[in-house]
Amino acid sequence: MLFSTLHEKDGAFPARNAAFQNGDLVFIRGRTWRSWFVRFFDVSNDFSHVGIIRIIDGVPKVIHATPDADVVQLQNMEDFLSPANADHAGVYRLKYNQLTAEAASMKALGYFEQGISFDHRFDILCNDMLYCTELIWLAYKHSGIDLGEGEADFLYDSAPFGKVLLPGRLSKSRRLIKVEKDSYEKQDGNIRITRKK
């Protein structure tokens, strides 16, 4: 089990950080109108946003692109999974290749360090601005893995935005495995792990 409670006031969260690895992907179901919009177009999926983990000084950080900040962010895991931001989450890992996952997390960290802007046009062909799933896809592609597995499989035709890679497409990549069969749901104001039977 990764952790029993993501939000604990006694500071127990950092003690459980060892279960995360560089390159792990953290998908969330957000609580904003934008999250609702994403899920409206991606009805078969339970997630609306994604970030990639980079462990810095022993603490997992989440690198992600969000229109709220307008540039790529490096955020504490506790904040990324805050009940104010998400009511559901899942952790996914690249199968069989930790070196590639490590390289992808470094590439994503580079996007943060460069101050890459959020791509409000959601144009996957424009790499000088990035949206959340594009950041993940591109970081892994530069590291030798195409999580989209080809244009026809992962690009979504959307009239206002053109071709958009949605979180659902990414989470269903055959190259990823869910870290565990548990799910993370909001309970009592916190996101808690729920063991599936």
Q: What is the pLDDT along the chain (197 residues), one digit of tens a residue?
A: 343 334 333 332 332 444 899 999 999 886 664 655 555 556 566 788 899 999 999 999 999 998 888 899 999 988 888 887 778 888 999 998 899 999 999 999 999 999 999 988 777 777 789 999 899 999 999 999 999 776 433 445 544 455 677 787 788 889 999 986 444 444 444 444 443 43
pLDDT, residue 83, reads: 80
CB count, 10 Å around CB of 142? 15
Domain around 38 = 13-185
CB count, 10 Å around CB of 7? 17
pLDDT, residue 139, reads: 97
Residue 194 forms part of a structural domain? no
Residue 188's contacts (CB-CB under 8 Å, 6 or more residues apart) are none
Residue 100 forms part of a structural domain? yes
The Cα–Cα gap between 145 and 158 comes to 25
Question: To which residue do tokens 């949206």 refer?
Answer: 131
Residue 145 forms part of a structural domain? yes
The Cα–Cα gap between 126 and 140 comes to 16
Structure tokens at 139: 């970081």
3-state secondary structure at position 10: coil
Residue 1 forms part of a structural domain? no
Instruction: Give the per-residue SS3 of 110-154.
Output: HHHHHCCEECCCCCCCCCCEECHHHHHHHHHHHCCCCCCCCHHHH
pTM assigned to the model? 0.77
pLDDT, residue 8, reads: 35
Residue 192 forms part of a structural domain? no
Chain centroid offset of residue 68 CA: 15
Residue 191 forms part of a structural domain? no
Residue 6 forms part of a structural domain? no
Residue 8 forms part of a structural domain? no
81, 6 Cβ separation under 8 angstroms: yes
Number of compact structural domains in the chain: 1
What CATH number corresponds to the domain at position 44? 3.90.1720.10
pLDDT, residue 36, reads: 55
